[in-house]
Amino acid sequence: MQRRIIAAVAAVILAGIGAVLLYSYVNNADARAMATLDTTQVLVATKVIPAGTSGANLAPFVALKQLPKVAVVEGALTSTELVADLEATTDLQVGEQVIASRFAKPNTDVSGKVDVPTDLSQVSVQLDPQHVVGTHIAPGSKVALYISVEVNQVAVSKLAFRDVLVTNVQGAPATPTEGDSSEVAPSSDVIVTFAVDPKDAGQIVWGSEFGKIYLALEPKDGDHTSTPFIRVKTIFK
């Protein structure tokens, strides 16, 4: 009986030693294999990255990992710099390589098209170049709408709407002269389409028909409330 117990214990010990040796061999084999391959570092998700996560906030979700170049997916990132101003369009799972094509401008999908909520209406207005922040607005931008009109011979302006989603911009900018890389304003009127609550669409149409509309790019931070009417006495008080 005692011999059987000793034999059983010995078998367990040998099995444990064998497992350790096998694990060590496999790890060493992986290391030897990696040593013979051309490798590079890429960003890999260490936590699930939820859709909508900004590229500027990826640090807690990713880490650089050494991989064979043959295993690196096209477009894999080595830093978050290229997607700092973009957002993840879908969830990225743990272990996935972080690739640029999974990110897009805020409020757009990977094709660059704006994802318009189904409860919003779309309305377009034609604006002069100086009313559209140069060439800085694009599909996916969030803008503020100022409306200026004259009421009973009194000129008034109001910051009427905040955080309005731009869904389309039509109108080519002026062509720069050769050797001039500076930004230029559009050379003609621009048609801008917004996604707004249906009750607000009528007010925007009215402002376009009977007044003037100015757009302003929304700040990332700061006050996003509306303003009271602005009159001459408000400015020169």
User: Are both 136 and 165 inside the same structural domain?
Assistant: yes
In this prediction, residue 176 has a pLDDT band, given cuts at 50, 70 and 90, of: very low
pLDDT (tens digit, 9 = 90+) per residue, 184-219?
555 678 899 999 999 999 999 999 999 999 998 888
User: Which sign does the torsion angle of CA 44, 109, 173, 219 carry?
Assistant: negative
Domain count, the chain: 2
For residue 5, tell me if it sits in a domain: no
Q: Is the pLDDT of residue 19 over 70?
A: no
- Mean pLDDT, rounded, for 222-231: 64
Q: Is the pLDDT of residue 179 over 50?
A: no
pLDDT (tens digit, 9 = 90+) per residue, 52-71?
888 889 999 999 999 898 88
Q: In this structure, are residues 50 and 91 in contact, taking their beta carbons and an 8 Å threshold? A: yes
User: Are both 99 and 204 inside the same structural domain?
Assistant: no
* Count of beta carbons in the 10 Å neighbourhood of residue 65: 15
User: Are both 100 and 130 inside the same structural domain?
Assistant: no
pLDDT of residue 12: 54
User: Which domain CATH number covers 75?
Assistant: 3.90.1210.10
Among 215, 101, 103, CA closest to 166: 215
Q: Which domain holds residue 145?
A: 121-235
Question: What global pTM score does this model have?
Answer: 0.55
In this prediction, residue 168 has a pLDDT band, given cuts at 50, 70 and 90, of: confident
